[in-house]
Structure 1
Amino acid sequence: MDNTSNRNWDNDHFMHPWEGMDYLGQNDRVFIEASNGVYVTDEAGKQLIDGPAGMWCVQVGYGRHEIADAMADQARKLAYFSPFNNTNSVATRFAREVAKRAPGDLNHVFFTTGGSTAVDTALRFVHFRNNLLGKPEKKKIISRQKAYHGSTYFAAAVSGKERDRLWLDKPNELAHFLPDVNPLVRKPDQSVADFLDEKVADLENAILTLGAENVAAFIAEPVLASGGVIVPPVGYHKRCIDVCHKHDVLYISDEVVTAFGRLGHWFASKDVFDIQPDIIICAKGLTSGYSPMGAAIFSDRLMEDITGADGQGATFSNGYTYSGHPVSAAAGLASMQIIEREGLLEHVRGVAPLFQERLRGLSDLPLVVDARGMGLMGCVQCSYKGDKNSTLENDYALGALIDMECQELGLVLRPIINMCVMSPPLVISEDQINQMFDILGQAIRKVDSVKGV
């Protein structure tokens, strides 16, 4: 097939996520046509390290025939069932396996089509539950600036990335946003400990100002992923959940990115941050990206006072045609088996120190403002430091230049404005980690050497 035709068809017919209207029909996107392990291959046959693992999701790496075979076998046996009217053993088994790995009493798994629909499901459930409990005013959701929770109507409403909120309508009355939790933005004379106190106070003050009787939940990512891999100060989540439960506010942990190994554990909430959420949301690594799927996981405690005689005959009328899709469930089960058989959680914990060391080693480069991360998540934030007239347009251009140089050298990044984000497949080796950061460092130096040209 003539790739010119493909490129024309891409511009004429394939409307991509976050499509820029200024360049609609004029894009020159790289075609990714094959993959294996931590590598993807473009249309010219060039192999590149997949720095973001697709979109934070290809945990076990590409080319896993075991997952492909499980999906094919399931599709031949049963490609679909209606979750509204029937059930299926593969989906049921997958729900059980997810619940076994979720912390505490998070035993009720509601499968969705992805992370956004999982967030929508969680928020609808919280409202539904409060209606049944006779608390119809308790509906406000507290979130954070720079948080990202999805692009469906409710999920977008609680997402705090301000540049994503300019042109699309949202139910603005639903959400209340707290200030940025990134320690990088603290006042010059402010310690991290004082900044932490301030961020926890932000939450409690918001609950008190809005009225606890009006606040339903606080939704938080353990690490704010799409906001730029923002790692809150140590102890932040533990103190926040204590504030929430003090005021009868539910704590929703959005683990769409961090669950299924990204931080070296099935779920990060309990094992990394020592919290027991009321609801966990997951997606992405749930099937290692081999098939679309997400889930909202609810605690037994949330169910106990709205079921049985307390259910009042109500129906949680939220659902999706593809909830618990058997082919996706088969992919998820096969991915879990690979993670356990190959010890990938232990592997992540073993290579993460090198990943973080190499990441922070870029801090001394002239363009680098900050290098931060946790586990196999990292962000290198860049800026023309001496440019007092730096604009958002300049930041976009800088990020695009670094991204282009990286691709030339054999690395795919996740460019978010002026932030170079990485979250590679969990199977990445130490040699590949070193290669990845060697390329990124070389690209940043190259861009710095030609700035202003």
Structure 2
Amino acid sequence: MNVPVKTNDLEAFWMPFSANRQFKKAPRMFVAADRMHYTTDDGRKVLDGTAGLWCCNAGHNRPKIVEAIRQQAGELDYAPAFQMGHPKVFEFASKLVNVAPPGFNHVFFTNSGSESVETALKMALAYHRVKGNGSKFRLIGRERGYHGVNFGGISVGGIVSNRKMFGTLLTGVDHMRHTHDPARNAFTKGQPEYGAEFADDLERIVALHDASTIAAVIIEPMAGSTGVLMPPKGYLEKIRAICDKHDILLIFDEVITGYGRLGAPFATDYFGVSPDIIVTAKGVTNGVIPMGAVFAKSKIHDVFMTGPEHLIEFFHGYTYSGNPIACAAGIGTLETYKEEGLLTRGAELAPYWEEQLHSLKGLPHVIDIRNMGLIGAIELEPIAGEPTKRAFSCFLDAFEHNLLIRTTGDIIALSPPLIISKSEIDQLFEILRGVLTRAA
């Protein structure tokens, strides 16, 4: 028999990606948010240095998004996604492909980045099968890659802690080497000079398995959750060329880099390298309503559109694919991005952001700093025998001094809302300078 618990009992909620016991001894609670700041339960204003979780690109409590959700909830709260539709989902899809990189004319809706990754992987496998190349079943990821937490995503992903507890995962998966090379590229501003040759590791994998068995390669054009790793100059171009050579689909995971984070609408635009499928989520609705969107080129989509018209072409989807309220939030988000120029505003602020970020060089335990667009990473020397502790201590100290940062391993990751001002950038790095100065 369950013993009733109080409605505010912290033990009922098993928190994701959290040190549950530590948190519940000293909870950190947000109760409100507006533009660049959160409000804590004790009334403090905390500067959002991470756009929530890489997702609130337009900041918080934005009027067009709030009003769109309110109106939609009172008009049509849910409509079935299978064999039925509603106007908002078609309107939103049309608006999205108009801001997508050239050639991406179709969008498939999901509910998260993890689901977007699963969708893209299945889309790639099914594409080759429909074309008569069913022997192409292998999926290639990258060490230190992060592609969500579903079984496909952690299989192609390359972060040890996300993989080690969950058995054999998917079969037929291999991994390229990561590109992190601090010995040659420490304190680089923008793309590193060295490391394009890491792309040649894909040729090694092709030689091992044969191209006839490889369906797709999935990479983050800029790896985010592993600690903000920038692609070396020429690296993405070489990956694209190798995929073309061997008839392998290239999937870009832009869950973090999509919707203005690098100062261009997508990393695909920023780097000028075009994949075959783009995975997105987070910023598609400004993080307000769970949603993901997978962009596919016509060459992918059109292969499926054959056979009798009454048959389902792609046996995949979710109960909440294209949810009406999520679509309304997405339309409000795109309108906000457009009116405020947020899909490119990062390019204007990037030089100032870079200057302030790299001014932290020389502070205690700082062994690397890297940046691109409105993203930054500060890598710290780990405490001997206690990995991650130094960065986590900085996270706690920053919160106490009214700044929200993100840590992964012993790396501090920064990705503020794209509405941040120069004075708020100054405030962010002033707080962080104090945090790093005090770091044990």
Band of TM-score, shorter chain: over 0.9
1:343 matched residue in structure 2? 341
Between 1:373-382 and 1:166-175, the stretch displaced more is 166-175
1:402 matched residue in structure 2? 394
Distance 1:97 1:53 in 2: 23
1:278 matched residue in structure 2? 276
2:9 maps to amino acid: W
Count how many residue pairs are aligned between Structure 1 and Structure 2.
431
1:204 matched residue in structure 2? 203
1:166 matched residue in structure 2? 164
CA 365–194 in structure 1, closer or farther in 2 if over 3 Å, else same: closer
2:182 matched residue in structure 1? 184
Q: C-alpha displacement at 1:17, in angstroms? A: 1.2
Distance 1:128 1:115 in 2: 20
Provide the aligned C-alpha RMSD in A.
2.2
CA 372–236 in structure 1, closer or farther in 2 if over 3 Å, else same: same
**Contact (CA 8 Å) 1:105, 1:301: kept in 2 or not?**
no
2:257 matched residue in structure 1? 258
**Contact (CA 8 Å) 2:195, 2:233: kept in 1 or not?**
no
Per the alignment, in what secondary structure is the counterpart of residue 272 of structure 1? helix
Q: C-alpha displacement at 1:136, in angstroms? A: 2.1
2:195 maps to amino acid: F
Distance 1:428 1:285 in 2: 16
TM-score, with structure 1 as normaliser? 0.90
CA 432–328 in structure 1, closer or farther in 2 if over 3 Å, else same: same
1:241 matched residue in structure 2? 240
Q: 1:321 aligns with which of 319, 332, 338?
A: 319
Deviations 1:290-338, CA, capped at 9 Å, x for gaps: 1110011111012333322499956311110100011111111111111
1:378 maps to amino acid: G
CA 174–356 in structure 1, closer or farther in 2 if over 3 Å, else same: farther
Q: 1:412 aligns with which of 404, 407, 415?
A: 404
2:143 matched residue in structure 1? 145
**Contact (CA 8 Å) 1:183, 1:233: kept in 2 or not?**
no
CA 27–325 in structure 1, closer or farther in 2 if over 3 Å, else same: farther
Q: C-alpha displacement at 1:217, in angstroms? A: 0.7
2:33 maps to amino acid: S
CA 64–26 in structure 1, closer or farther in 2 if over 3 Å, else same: closer
Deviations 1:382-426, CA, capped at 9 Å, x for gaps: 115xx7xx23x2x32211211121112110111212111110111
Distance 2:93 2:310 in 1: 26
Q: C-alpha displacement at 1:137, in angstroms? A: 2.2
1:125 maps to amino acid: M
Per the alignment, in what secondary structure is the counterpart of residue 381 of structure 1? strand
Distance 1:33 1:248 in 2: 50
1:9 maps to amino acid: D
Between 1:341-350 and 1:249-258, the stretch displaced more is 341-350
Q: C-alpha displacement at 1:375, in angstroms? A: 0.6
Q: C-alpha displacement at 1:357, in angstroms? A: 1.4
1:217 matched residue in structure 2? 216
2:38 matched residue in structure 1? 40
Counterparts of 1:111-126 in structure 2, within 5 Å, are 111-126=109-124
**Contact (CA 8 Å) 1:148, 1:227: kept in 2 or not?**
yes
1:432 matched residue in structure 2? 424
Per the alignment, in what secondary structure is the counterpart of residue 360 of structure 2? helix
1:51 matched residue in structure 2? 49
**Contact (CA 8 Å) 2:304, 2:314: kept in 1 or not?**
no
1:383 aligns to 2:381 (yes or no):
yes
1:435 maps to amino acid: Q
2:434 matched residue in structure 1? 442
Distance 1:167 1:20 in 2: 17
**Contact (CA 8 Å) 2:73, 2:325: kept in 1 or not?**
yes
TM-score, with structure 2 as normaliser? 0.93
Deviations 1:100-151, CA, capped at 9 Å, x for gaps: 1112221111000010001001111111122222222211111111110000
CA 295–381 in structure 1, closer or farther in 2 if over 3 Å, else same: same
**Contact (CA 8 Å) 2:395, 2:405: kept in 1 or not?**
yes
Distance 2:280 2:308 in 1: 28
Q: C-alpha displacement at 1:174, in angstroms? A: 3.3
Per the alignment, in what secondary structure is the counterpart of residue 147 of structure 2? coil
User: Percent of aligned positions with the same letter in both sequences?
Assistant: 32
**Contact (CA 8 Å) 2:260, 2:344: kept in 1 or not?**
no
1:421 matched residue in structure 2? 413
CA 127–312 in structure 1, closer or farther in 2 if over 3 Å, else same: farther
Distance 2:163 2:89 in 1: 36
**Contact (CA 8 Å) 2:185, 2:194: kept in 1 or not?**
no
Between 1:397-406 and 1:306-315, the stretch displaced more is 306-315
Q: C-alpha displacement at 1:195, in angstroms? A: 2.8
Per the alignment, in what secondary structure is the counterpart of residue 323 of structure 1? coil
Q: C-alpha displacement at 1:346, in angstroms? A: 3.6
1:297 matched residue in structure 2? 295
Deviations 1:265-303, CA, capped at 9 Å, x for gaps: 22121x211111100010000000111100111110123
Per the alignment, in what secondary structure is the counterpart of residue 139 of structure 2? strand
**Contact (CA 8 Å) 2:265, 2:344: kept in 1 or not?**
no
2:189 matched residue in structure 1? none
